[in-house]
């Protein structure tokens, strides 16, 4: 199966299925000498794992990683870093009846059409379970880009019709995000989100949401025109995550209703190597190259496709039937999305930092 490797200089390759024995990630290109331990990987894995609150899937996975290679005496060696996260609570019997039909909203049909043979247990490779590998790689990327002063943070900004009020997105802290199981830093909105998620769970349904991600301290000059623009790689990275239906940068779709005189970000006087703008409608990239302003991203996440309500569908032979899911699933997958979105943003930034440092034309980092 192609398509399981991402990146150019910081390359991430993942393997594993929802109900297989484990998920594995190999990170190639990480420089030697970076301090790295299991304790660096565990916090974001804990933020992503199922069973962490009553609002998410009750699958009881500890998601405790094991480093297999690439680290010696607490430092990366420059060799590929291999990490495994074992699956310990898969209940494959919940999917015994699904091999012969196609669940609405899932990849069952397209995987069958493309490969002719698929793993129906929990969605197999198409399951969001594979994102555990991305989070491991993202934790390594975060350590790497922190040396350049870059910090990445995501949170839930919307669940259904409940929208948070976050006046200054660059001032949000991890402590504020993690104060609620909704991962919304607006306490009032977080309470409403909790009530809504509990409501849709009782209704045997699900609800979507929006995650916002900010990267601060991004150096000027990251990104490769024309097809490898920083924003293009960020969009690809975020769209590769299961359940993502839309990605915006800066003003995003609001730009369609703005005038140029309003949308253009005016430069402020200052050091020509570190210019800032009055506003940040461009979201941190100009011409696809980082401007030094905060990267501002918004990601739309669909309602979880697997719901316990009976739905109409068809068999592999195209005959009408119904399906009712018995697995353990999130009524709102957006609540566990922030560490996954952060991981992919950090991976893209790490990749472009390494690519830039290897380029004789790059002058923004010295």
Q: Examine residue 252 and state whether it is found in any structural domain, yes or no.
A: yes
Three-state secondary structure along the chain? CCCCEECCCCEEEEEECCCCCEEEEEEECCCCCCECCHHHHHHHHHHHCCCCCCCCCCCCCCCCEEEEECEECCEECCCCEEEEEECCCCCHHHHCCCCCEECCCCCHHHHHHHHCCCCCHHHHHHCHHHHHHHHHHHHHHHHHHHCCCCEEEEEEEEECCEECCCCCHHHCCHHHHCCCCCCCCCHHHHHHHHHHHHHHHHCCCCCCEEEEEEEECCCCCCCECCCECHHHHHHHHHHCCCCEEEEEECCHHHHHHCCHHHHCCCECCCCCCCCCECCCCCCCEECCEECCCCEEEEEEECCCCCCCCCEEEEECCCCEEEECCCCCCCCCHHHHCHHHHHHHHHHHHHHHHHHHHCCCCCCCCC
Asked, for residue 306, whether it belongs to a domain, the answer is: yes
Interval 205-218 mean pLDDT: 97
| Token pair for 146 | 């922190």
- Domain assignment present for 288: yes
Residue 79, in any domain of the structure: yes
Q: Which of 3-7, 90-94, 226-230 has the weakest average pLDDT? A: 90-94
pLDDT band at residue 208 under the 50/70/90 scheme:
very high
Each residue's pLDDT tens digit, 70-115:
999 999 999 999 999 998 876 656 666 777 899 999 999 999 999 9
Q: For residue 44, with 0-12 CB atoms within 10 Å meaning exposed, 13-18 middle and 19 or more buried, which class applies?
A: buried
Q: What is the pLDDT of residue 336?
A: 94
In this prediction, residue 54 carries a pLDDT of 77
Percent of the chain topping pLDDT 90 = 76
d(Cα 344, Cα 150) in Å, to the nearest integer? 14
> What CATH number corresponds to the domain at position 82?
3.60.150.10
The pLDDT score that the predictor gives to residue 1 is 58
pLDDT digits (tens, 9 = 90+) for 236-245: 999 999 999 9
pLDDT value of position 273: 85
Residue 364, domain member (yes or no): no
For 242, the domain range is: 5-357
Is the pLDDT assigned to residue 28 strictly greater than 80? yes
> How many other CB atoms are there within 10 angstroms of residue 66's CB atom?
13
The verdict on residue 362 lying in a domain is: no
Provide the pairing of β-strand 65-69 with 71-72.
Answer: unpaired
Residue 366 has pLDDT above 60, yes or no: no
Considering the entire predicted model, what is its pTM?
0.95
Q: pLDDT tier at 200 (50, 70, 90 boundaries)?
A: very high
| Residue 119, pLDDT score | 83
**Number of domains composing the chain:** 1
Within-domain flag for 234:
yes
Q: What is residue 361's predicted lDDT score, i.e. its pLDDT?
A: 64
pLDDT tens track for 252-295:
999 999 999 999 999 999 998 899 999 999 999 999 999 999 99
Quick check: 365 pLDDT over 50?
A: no
Residue 198 included in any domain: yes
Q: How do residues 289-344 score in pLDDT, each as one tens digit?
A: 999 999 999 999 999 998 888 999 999 999 999 988 876 688 999 999 999 999 99
The pLDDT assigned to 96 comes to 67
Q: Which residues contact 261 (CB under 8 A, 6 or more apart)?
A: none
pLDDT at residue 94, as a whole number: 62
**In the prediction, which pLDDT does 125 show?**
87
pLDDT at 251 over 90: yes
């Amino acid at each position: 199966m192609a398509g399981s490797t991402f990146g150019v200089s910081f390359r991430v390759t993942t393997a594993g299925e929802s109900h297989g024995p484990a998920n594995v990630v190999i990170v190639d290109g990480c420089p030697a000498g970076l301090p790295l331990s299991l304790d660096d990987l565990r916090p974001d894995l804990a933020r992503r794992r199922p069973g962490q609150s009553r609002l998410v899937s009750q699958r009881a996975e500890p998601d405790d990683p094991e480093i297999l290679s690439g680290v010696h005496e607490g430092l990366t060696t420059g060799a590929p870093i291999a990490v495994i996260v074992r699956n310990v609570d898969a209940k494959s019997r919940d999917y015994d009846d699904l091999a012969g039909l196609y669940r609405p909203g899932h990849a069952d049909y397209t995987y069958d059409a493309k490969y002719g043979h698929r793993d129906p247990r929990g969605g197999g490779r198409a399951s969001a379970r594979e994102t555990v590998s991305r989070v491991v790689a993202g934790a390594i990327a975060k350590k790497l880009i922190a040396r350049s002063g870059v910090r990445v943070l995501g949170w839930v900004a919307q669940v259904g019709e409940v929208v948070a009020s976050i006046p200054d997105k660059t001032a949000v802290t991890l402590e504020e995000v993690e104060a609620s199981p909704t991962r919304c830093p607006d306490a009032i909105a977080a309470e409403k989100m909790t009530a809504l998620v509990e409501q849709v769970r009782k209704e045997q349904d699900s609800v979507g949401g929006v995650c916002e991600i900010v990267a601060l301290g991004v150096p000027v000059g990251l990104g490769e025109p024309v097809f490898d623009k920083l924003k293009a790689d960020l969009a690809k990275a975020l769209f590769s995550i299961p359940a993502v239906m839309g990605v915006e940068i800066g003003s995003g779709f609001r730009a369609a209703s703005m005038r140029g005189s309003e949308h253009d970000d005016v430069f402020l006087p200052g050091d020509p190597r570190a210019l800032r703008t009055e506003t940040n409608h461009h979201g941190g990239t100009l011409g696809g190259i980082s401007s030094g302003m905060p990267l501002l991203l918004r990601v739309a996440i669909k309602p979880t496709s697997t719901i316990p309500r009976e739905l109409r569908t068809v068999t592999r032979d195209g005959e009408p039937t119904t399906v009712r899911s018995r697995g353990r699933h999130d009524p709102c997958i957006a609540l566990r999305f922030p560490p996954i979105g952060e991981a992919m943003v950090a991976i893209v930034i790490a990749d472009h930092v390494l690519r830039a440092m290897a380029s004789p034309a790059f002058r923004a980092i010295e």
